[in-house]
Chain A
Amino acid sequence: MEPSLRRNLLGLATFMMIEAAIFMIFIWAPTEQVMGIVQRIFYFHVSCGMTTFLAFFIVFLASILYLWKKDKKWDIVAHASAELGVLFCTLVLLSGPIWARPIWGTWWTWDARLTTSLVLWLIYVAYLMLRSASRGSERRTRFAAVFGIVGFVDVPLVYLSIHWWRTIHPVVIKPSGIGLAPPMLYTFLVSWAAITILYFYLLGLRIRIGKLSEGVEELKAIQYSGV
């Protein structure tokens, strides 16, 4: 299959999934009895949160693969995924307070999950800053890969330490089962799938941009070397 055709098909699938998720969230799913209409934020909020973890996990994997194989391709993947992870993490941090204000009566609270999300956001914004501050592309990729590994390894420790410090976040998904009515569960699963497929679609686009800009750099290098 042509790469452009594959991209367009994935784009179409993303569009349809997001439409289906929006329909289910706003029309099909019942309104939660206690929290009311604002509970509908949950579907995209949690989906974005899970996609954030996926994105940062892919940064971690791609960073290891880059240091191991020294293939520039993995660096482009890591960079693309880090940018998307920061994007989805920002969405989590914005949609959370909109829900928390009417339910908890406060925009922000230093709960374990909230604080962990904020620390995650800080780690990967730092990752992007490190990339833009490094001189020389070969050095930049090595530095970014090392920090991509250090940052992800830290996540469980950050979560554990903040969890011991305090926690009040509602735990919807427990080991014993999911505390959701079936229509809500299906709506959540479709939303999750939609956001995940959106992530992969954007990742593909971002990797393509990364490769193109890499190509431009190479062409420039050839031109200036006077060949």
Chain B
Amino acid sequence: MDYFRQAWAIAWKDILSELRTRQMISSVLLFCLLVMVIFSFTFDPGAEYVSELVPGILWVAFCFAGTLGLERSWGAEQENRAVDGLLLSPMDRSAIFLGKALGNLVFMLAVELVTFPLAAVLFGVSFLDVWGKVALVAVLATAGFMAVGTLLSAITVNTKLREILLPILLFPILVPVILAAVKSTGSLLQGEGWEGISSWVKLLAAFDVIFITVAILTFEYVVEE
């Protein structure tokens, strides 16, 4: 149990410092809003087909916004070489990964919690009837996103290209997550029930299990000095 307490301590450190400044969450939320506004210029406002585009718009916004958050997550540890302190702490390296990923997950879910209602208001769709299933999809998709993202951003933060390289590495890997999230959010909005999303949910769960395992196994090679 010590292992998970240590991981939670790392996650809580990130959550606490974000709660004190609220810098990242406000800028990332504003960024999500901007993406939605820019998207709305590409189609006629109030057109019938808008509700079919909403899942895509939302998840594109989350992909971009999440990448910004991930970049910041390890970038902040580079300041004053805080990462050295983390690595010197007497705990398993994979617990550090788990903690950082958990912190990123909480952060990103908070962003999504605000953006979903915002999108509902702006594009005139309603998630109220299906909020439980949408939440399940969002949590599973974001968990996979953050597991791979936390691993890869620990890599890219140490390269010459930094913030440009992260999406280039991350987005092709995330193709299954993006497809599953967009398609299942879409079928929920179309009023389809559990059978419309069950295979996507299973795919998301498989992605999460596989990549959390791979990340835990390989993370120590990323940070080893």
Instruction: List the interface of chain A (C-beta within 8 A of B).
Output: 67, 119, 122-123, 126, 129-130, 133-135, 139, 142-143, 145-147, 149-151, 153-154, 157-158, 160-162, 164-165
Q: B176–A67 contact, CB under 8 A?
A: no
The stretch of B53-61, B77-85, B107-115, B217-225 in contact with A is: B217-225
B126 at the interface (CB under 8 A from A): no
CB–CB B151/A123 < 8 A: no
Q: Which of B161, B172, B207, B218 has the most CB of A within 10 A?
A: B172
The residue in chain A whose Cβ has the minimal distance to the Cβ of B178 is A161
Interface 9-mer from B21-29, B88-96, B152-160:
B152-160
User: Would A153 and B214 count as touching, CB distance under 8 A?
Assistant: yes
- B206–A126 touching, CB < 8 Å: no
Contacting residue for B183 out of A139, A145, A165, CB 8 A: A165
Kindly supply a per-residue 1/0 record for chain B positions 157-183, scoring 1 wherever the CB is within 8 Å of any chain A CB and 0 otherwise. Answer: 011110001001101110110011001
Q: How many A-B residue pairs have CB under 8 A?
A: 91
Q: Find A146's partner among B160, B175, B222 (CB 8 Å cutoff).
A: B222
Contact of A160 with B176 at beta-carbon distance under 8 Å, contacts A143-B222, A146-B222, A149-B218 already known:
yes
Q: Which residue of A lies closest to B167 (CB)?
A: A126
Knowing A146-B151, A162-B179, say if A119 contacts B172 (CB, 8 Å).
Answer: yes
A154 — which chain B residues lie within 8 A by C-beta?
172-173, 175-176
Supplied contacts A119-B172, A153-B214, A160-B203, 10 more A-B pairs, CB within 8 Å: A126-B169, A129-B161, A130-B155, A134-B159, A134-B160, A146-B155, A147-B152, A151-B173, A154-B173, A164-B199
With known contacts A149-B214, A157-B203, A160-B176, A143–B168 Cβ distance under 8 A? no
Asked if B86 is at the interface (CB within 8 A of a chain A CB), the reply is no
**Interface check B210, CB cutoff 8 A:** yes
CB distance from A102 to the nearest CB of B (A): 29
Q: List 10 A-B contacts (CB under 8 A).
A: A129-B165, A133-B161, A142-B221, A142-B222, A149-B218, A150-B173, A151-B172, A154-B176, A161-B176, A164-B179
Contact check, B211 vs A153: say whether CB atoms are below 8 A apart.
yes
Nearest-neighbor residue (CB-CB) of A160 within chain B = B203
Query: Please, how many angstroms separate the alpha-carbon atoms of A161 and B211 in the complex?
Result: 16
For the complex of A and B, 7 pairs with smallest distance between CB atoms: A161-B176, A122-B172, A157-B176, A133-B159, A133-B161, A123-B172, A161-B179
Interface SS majority for chain B: helix
Inter-subunit contact A130/B159 (CB<8 Å): yes
Which B residues lie within 8 Å of A122 (CB)? 171-172
A195 to chain B, nearest CB (A): 25
Q: For B151, B156, B176, B200, which residue has the most chain A Cβ atoms within 10 angstroms?
A: B176
B206 surroundings in chain A (CB, below 8 A)? 157
**B222 neighbours in A (Cβ, 8 Å):** 142-143, 146
> A134-B158, A157-B210 are contacts. A162–B175 as well, Cβ < 8 Å?
yes
Give the complex CA separation of A151 and B218 in angstroms.
Answer: 13
Interface centre among B158, B211, B214 (most CB of A within 10 A): B158
Q: Is B10 an interface residue (CB 8 A)?
A: no
Residues of B within 8 A of A146 (CB): 151, 155, 218, 221-222
Which residues of chain B are within 8 angstroms of A157 by Cβ–Cβ distance?
Answer: 176, 203, 206-207, 210
Which of B148, B152, B159 has most chain A Cβ within 10 Å?
B159
- Minimum distance in angstroms from B111 CB to a CB of chain A: 24
Contact A150 B152 (CB under 8 A): yes
Residues of A within 8 A of B169 (CB): 126, 129-130, 147
How far in angstroms is the closest Cβ of chain B from A160? 6
Please tell me which one of the listed residues A135, A142, A165 contacts residue B179 in the complex, with CB atoms under 8 A apart: A165
Contacts of A143 in B (CB 8 A): 155, 158-159, 222
Contact A150 B148 (CB under 8 A): yes
Determine if B175 and A142 form an interchain contact, defined as CB atoms under 8 angstroms apart.
no
Q: Which residue from chain A places its CB closest to the CB of B158 in the assembled complex?
A: A139
Interface residues of B in 41-99 (CB under 8 A from A): none
Q: How far is the CA of A129 from the CA of B160 in the complex (A)?
A: 11
Decide: B176 and A158 in contact? CB cutoff 8 A.
Answer: yes
Chain A residues with Cβ under 8 A from B171's Cβ? 122
